[in-house]
Structure 1
Amino acid sequence: MLRAAAIAACLAGMLLARPETAAARVRLESICTVYGQHEVHLHGIGLVVGLNGTGDGGRNRPAMRALSSALKLMNTPAAIDELRDADNVAVVLIEATIPRTGIRAGQQIDCYVSSFMGAQDLRGGRLLAAPLETSQIEAGGRRNDVAVGLASGAIQIEDPVVPTTGVIKSGVSLLQGFESAFIDRRRGNIITLLLDPSHSSFHSSSEVARVVNEEFSFETGGRRIARAISPGEVQIQVPPEHQEAPVEFVAEVLSVGIDNPHTQARVIVNERTGTIVVTGEVQISPVVISHRNLTVQVGPVLPGDPGETGRFVPIQDSQAPQQLQELVKALNQLRVPTTDIIRIIRELHRSGKLHAAYEEQ
């Protein structure tokens, strides 16, 4: 009873005396990307040779058909039955990613290879030259695979525990370039900022447009060049004086600061690892939760409530919603086990008193 009273006093003191957080000014580049800048994924199938008897095996007919076809292309035809002892060959899936900033023809990027038949270990193997493709969707929804690079080279195993996957550093040579088309010139030199999903909201997009307009108001004579068109998109018209140097203009836009960008209220918990992640302003409504030897009351302790006798833990004497972060912080300082905190949060969610997106991993 005395212990509960002490906990009540401690919790109330922690939460009533919480300091005000300082305003955080964040650059737009931290919460936005520019439309037109996206990664391009390349894929292909290839043959790895030089394995120490750890390949797909000579009796793996799909692998041997691939090897037979490769030998035929190199003017050394061989029947599948003649390749029964080829245990040092493996068919692999090849993957690579073009960065969102684009790349020029002739440049090289890394690729990753993974066995998917019978190969147990790719250590010591080399990938024979194999084409990599990217899928393009044409008019009518028809898919067209276009070869854009060649992959080859020695495989490095990054994780010894998983020797069936590896990386080839600078193993892909690009046959064509990928440019980042970040300006829509057909609509009058427009760039579009895309807010990250965790920051997308009507408030955030309108605030981004406001700070951009303020930043360039002197140059544009007060003309608004930015406008929010959705919770996750802001369109900006490149001013005439910047159209000769659009890259510099985009750099200036992305360096503009915004105060306290809105973050979606979200709670992610993992009971197995004992992890609690809270983003945004997660509020909890007045509620009473009893868990094991601890009773938590969010809201005022009314006259005659058991809390006045020391059996309840008041979180704050107010009808207004409280911050979940403060509750978690206070319980942590009182050394309440993380598993118990997670279960309390789960019950807050189930009772509808937790005002945020909730996710368990």
Structure 2
Amino acid sequence: MRARRWMAAAGLLLAAAACAAAEGEVRIKDLGRMAGWRDNALVGYGLVSGLAGTGDSGRNRATRQSIANMLSRFDLQLPADDVNARNVAAVMVTANLPAFARGGDTIDATVTSIGDARSLAGGTLLLAPLKGPDGRVYALAQGAVSVGGYRYDANGNLSQKNHPTVGMLSGGATVEIATPEPRGEPPRSATFVLSTADYTTATRVADAINRAHGEGLAEVRDAAGVDIQIPEGWRQRVPRFLAAIEALPVKPDVRARVVINERTGTVVTGGDVRISRVAVSHGDLKVSVVTDNAVSQPLLVRQTGPEVRTQEYANSRIAVQEGGAGVFVGPDNNTVADLVQALHRMRTSARDVISILQAVKAAGALHADLVVQ
């Protein structure tokens, strides 16, 4: 019994050690992509119909001409000047054609108004071809437009939410032409491209591939690319070889960076971003000026004339409030997280925290990139 318990305890320790060793590791496929895998931008022009009087006005000649051209396809000849439909809007349709797309696949499309339409809510996009940079039609878009907002106005009153002139067609575009695939002999090499360029991470990716499939197969090209030679035994099974590479675990190196957003007061930072010994003193000075306007009306005066009139005057009051200044002295090898927690304990606002971080960076005590959005 004791032996079994000891073996069970040893197994738990080994599992814990394995989890600790694998902490921070991610798959290679989560760090980037293979060179040549990319989305292709598509764009097209179309009409959205069925709007409840919120479409383009009669001043848009392009919309009226588009309606006349569309009706001519159905053997209905109508001059563009005779078209006056407020329930139609001219739009641009955009989509991304993913790599390895096949004919019949459905992709999302975005619809944006290019006229003076007030809202696309409740409209339906008529069949619109989506073209690539080469001018070929790769997809066809059609369907109901989903708008995440609204706009209603009447008698000068307006109620609006979000942007009702932009809509989405979820799966509303059908791929007609598959993404071109390379033909010829099987490739002898491939290049893995990192999403974030870093020499340390690229070296770790190459080392993981060499340990798993043999030395010399992977070589670091630069901070964002790793060249991979495909072994002879995998030449006819390149997709399986690339799948095996993508599953290898690697611990990426993270660059110290602090991102702050002054508009929202958001501060995002890694917990291990270091700062040197620094002293922060922050005070709060509040100055308020209040002005009271009044009128002095003469009383008990029965005479009238240009010299007898009311007099306007203003009384101003100035109040100054100065709060106590907070002081924080950080020891060596401290982190930004410790500094932010200390400032929160001092009840420092988020915008003041941002100002303090900028000052710490200017003083040379913040050892990280400071990104201000």
| TM-score, normalisation: structure 1 | 0.75
Indicate the residue corresponding to 1:282 in structure 2. 273
Q: Tell whether 2:166 aligns with 1:165.
A: yes
**Alpha carbons of structure 1 residues 225 and 280: separation in structure 2 relative to 1, 3 Å:** farther
In 1, the alpha carbon distance for the partners of 2:171 and 2:329 equals: 60
**Alpha carbons of structure 1 residues 121 and 313: separation in structure 2 relative to 1, 3 Å:** closer
After TM superposition, list the pairs within 5 Å mapping 1:54-133 onto structure 2.
54-83=54-83, 85-100=84-99, 102-133=100-131
Which entry has the higher C-alpha Rg, 1 or 2? 2
Amino-acid identity (%): 31
Q: CA deviation at 1:347?
A: 0.2
SS at match of 2:132: strand
In 2, the alpha carbon distance for the partners of 1:37 and 1:242 equals: 20
Indicate the residue corresponding to 2:210 in structure 1. 213
Q: Tell whether 2:250 aligns with 1:252.
A: no
Is residue 283–residue 324 contact of structure 1 (8 Å, CA) maintained in 2?
yes
**Alpha carbons of structure 1 residues 59 and 334: separation in structure 2 relative to 1, 3 Å:** closer
Q: CA deviation at 1:336?
A: 4.0
**Alpha carbons of structure 1 residues 270 and 180: separation in structure 2 relative to 1, 3 Å:** farther
**Alpha carbons of structure 1 residues 350 and 82: separation in structure 2 relative to 1, 3 Å:** same
**Alpha carbons of structure 1 residues 22 and 346: separation in structure 2 relative to 1, 3 Å:** farther
In 1, the alpha carbon distance for the partners of 2:53 and 2:79 equals: 20
Q: Tell whether 2:201 aligns with 1:204.
A: yes
Is residue 27–residue 249 contact of structure 2 (8 Å, CA) maintained in 1?
yes
In 2, the alpha carbon distance for the partners of 1:314 and 1:165 equals: 51
In 2, the alpha carbon distance for the partners of 1:22 and 1:154 equals: 47
Indicate the residue corresponding to 2:329 in structure 1. 314
**Alpha carbons of structure 1 residues 226 and 330: separation in structure 2 relative to 1, 3 Å:** farther
**Alpha carbons of structure 1 residues 34 and 184: separation in structure 2 relative to 1, 3 Å:** farther
Is residue 125–residue 143 contact of structure 2 (8 Å, CA) maintained in 1?
yes
In 1, the alpha carbon distance for the partners of 2:118 and 2:217 equals: 58
Query: Aligned AA for 2:246?
Result: L
Q: Which has the higher contact order (CA 8 A, sep 6+)?
A: 1
Indicate the residue corresponding to 2:218 in structure 1. 226
Q: Over residues 258-279 of structure 1, what are the superposed CA-to-partner deviations in whole Å (9 max), with x where a residue is unaligned? A: 13x1122211112342311114
Q: CA deviation at 1:46?
A: 0.5
Indicate the residue corresponding to 2:255 in structure 1. 264
SS at match of 2:68: helix
In 2, the alpha carbon distance for the partners of 1:195 and 1:243 equals: 24
**Alpha carbons of structure 1 residues 185 and 25: separation in structure 2 relative to 1, 3 Å:** farther
Q: Please point out which of 134, 137, 143 is paired with 1:147.
A: 137
In 2, the alpha carbon distance for the partners of 1:107 and 1:185 equals: 27
Q: Over residues 138-166 of structure 1, what are the superposed CA-to-partner deviations in whole Å (9 max), with x where a residue is unaligned? A: xxxxxx32221221122222334232222
Number of residues paired by the alignment? 302
Indicate the residue corresponding to 1:347 in structure 2. 359
Q: CA deviation at 1:225?
A: 0.6
Is residue 266–residue 280 contact of structure 1 (8 Å, CA) maintained in 2?
no
Give unpaired runs (5+ residues) of structure 2: 1-19, 151-160, 285-325
Q: Over residues 300-350 of structure 1, what are the superposed CA-to-partner deviations in whole Å (9 max), with x where a residue is unaligned? A: xxxxxxxxxxx964311x4xx543233234444565433332221110122
Structure with greater strand share of residues: 2
Is residue 184–residue 191 contact of structure 1 (8 Å, CA) maintained in 2?
no
In 2, the alpha carbon distance for the partners of 1:59 and 1:50 equals: 19
In 2, the alpha carbon distance for the partners of 1:257 and 1:44 equals: 42
**Alpha carbons of structure 1 residues 29 and 159: separation in structure 2 relative to 1, 3 Å:** farther
Give unpaired runs (5+ residues) of structure 1: 1-19, 136-143, 218-222, 294-310
| TM-score, normalisation: structure 2 | 0.73
The Cα RMSD (Å) is 2.7
SS at match of 2:135: strand
After TM superposition, list the pairs within 5 Å mapping 1:291-310 onto structure 2.
291-292=282-283
Is residue 209–residue 234 contact of structure 1 (8 Å, CA) maintained in 2?
yes
Is residue 282–residue 327 contact of structure 2 (8 Å, CA) maintained in 1?
no
Indicate the residue corresponding to 2:26 in structure 1. 26
